[in-house]
Amino acid sequence: MERIKQAIVKAKSQQPSVASVQSRPDRYEKSFKSNASISEDELLDIHYKSTHIVKLQKEHLEKNHIVAFDKNNPLCMTFDLLRTHVLQKMEENGWRTLAITSPTPEAGKTVIAINLAMSIAQQTNRTAMLVDFDLRRPKVATYLGFHLEKSLNDLLNGTAELTDVLINPDIPRLVVLPTSTAMKNSSEMLSSKKIADLIMDLRERYKSRIVIFDLPPVLVTDDAIALLPKIDCVLMVVASGMSTKREIEDSLRLLPAENLIGTILNKADVEPKAYYYDQ
């Protein structure tokens, strides 16, 4: 673990500066205009009328290390601390979209993304959206226990509208845009105008919204690199004992230094903790 910490510090110093779906649809009961400022009272009283609402199962979440929904879980504090650092940095720069990636697979980036989105949604002055843009190995729906009828796949192939594929996981102020199956030509899709327009729509619709995108690892494909210019900022997740010094350094070189919020050291202990290192 110490070797990885040293590698992260050195590399950054070289940088410039299951669920049951209820039959309620999902759209906010309140009618908000695009780009509208939403008061804190309105954020506390959001109801969904056209977005599918899914009842999460605690046992399934905990099995997949999803803990931020439960304030009684001591690990929840870890993600609340991460949330505070991330939101402070994003607010300083006017950022509202965040990518989460890793050097290589199995670093736990999807688990971090889900827990962080849940933690942000618990801020009464914020709403959060989690988008599964790991089009080669989508896992968000599996970890949350969703049984999908429609997903991002259907939105991108033109057989569904955005309101058809959004899910509220029975957590106030949180909406998920899941991907059901792996897509061919994922890099080309993520580079497309269709994706660029979708990201802009998700970012600009509500000023209170933080949109988190779960991206593929940066060293496995060019998917993340193709998408990052469209997203405000990025977090990198490094798994203790799994990424080499060279992989960490190569990944940091590929990420935009001015938009890199920081690096998370994950899987550092037996318990699924995450540690945040600010730049």
pLDDT, tens digit, 9 for 90 and up, residues 38-60: 444 445 456 556 678 888 999 99
Closest by Cα among 68, 104, 99, 136 to 210:
99
Examine residue 33 and state whether it is found in any structural domain, yes or no: no
Residue 18 has pLDDT above 90, yes or no: no
- At 174, the pLDDT band (50, 70, 90 cuts) reads very high
Residue 180 has pLDDT above 50, yes or no: yes
Q: Is the pTM of this model over 0.85?
A: no
Give the number of domains in the chain.
Answer: 1
Domain containing 227 equals 2-28+42-278
Residue 15 has pLDDT above 90, yes or no: no
Provide the CATH number for the domain around residue 238. Answer: 3.40.50.300
Which of 17-31, 32-46, 190-204 has maximum average pLDDT? 190-204
Sheet arrangement for strand 167-168: 20-22, 52-55, 167-168, 174-177, 127-132, 209-214, 97-101, 233-239, 260-266, 274-278
How high is the pLDDT of residue 9? 46
User: Across residues 77-106, what is the average pLDDT?
Assistant: 95
How high is the pLDDT of residue 269? 60
CB 100 within 8 A of CB 235: yes
Examine residue 185 and state whether it is found in any structural domain, yes or no: yes
How high is the pLDDT of residue 29? 34
Q: Report how far residue 55's alpha carbon sits from residue 19's, in angstroms, rounded to the nearest whole number.
A: 5
Examine residue 147 and state whether it is found in any structural domain, yes or no: yes
Of 65-69, 114-118, 176-180, 203-207, the least confident:
203-207
User: Across residues 19-41, what is the average pLDDT?
Assistant: 39
Residue 98 has pLDDT above 80, yes or no: yes
Examine residue 274 and state whether it is found in any structural domain, yes or no: yes
231 burial (CB, 10 Å; 0-12 / 13-18 / 19+) is buried
Examine residue 23 and state whether it is found in any structural domain, yes or no: yes
User: Across residues 253-258, what is the average pLDDT?
Assistant: 93
Examine residue 35 and state whether it is found in any structural domain, yes or no: no
- At 241, the pLDDT band (50, 70, 90 cuts) reads confident
How high is the pLDDT of residue 218? 95
Examine residue 201 and state whether it is found in any structural domain, yes or no: yes
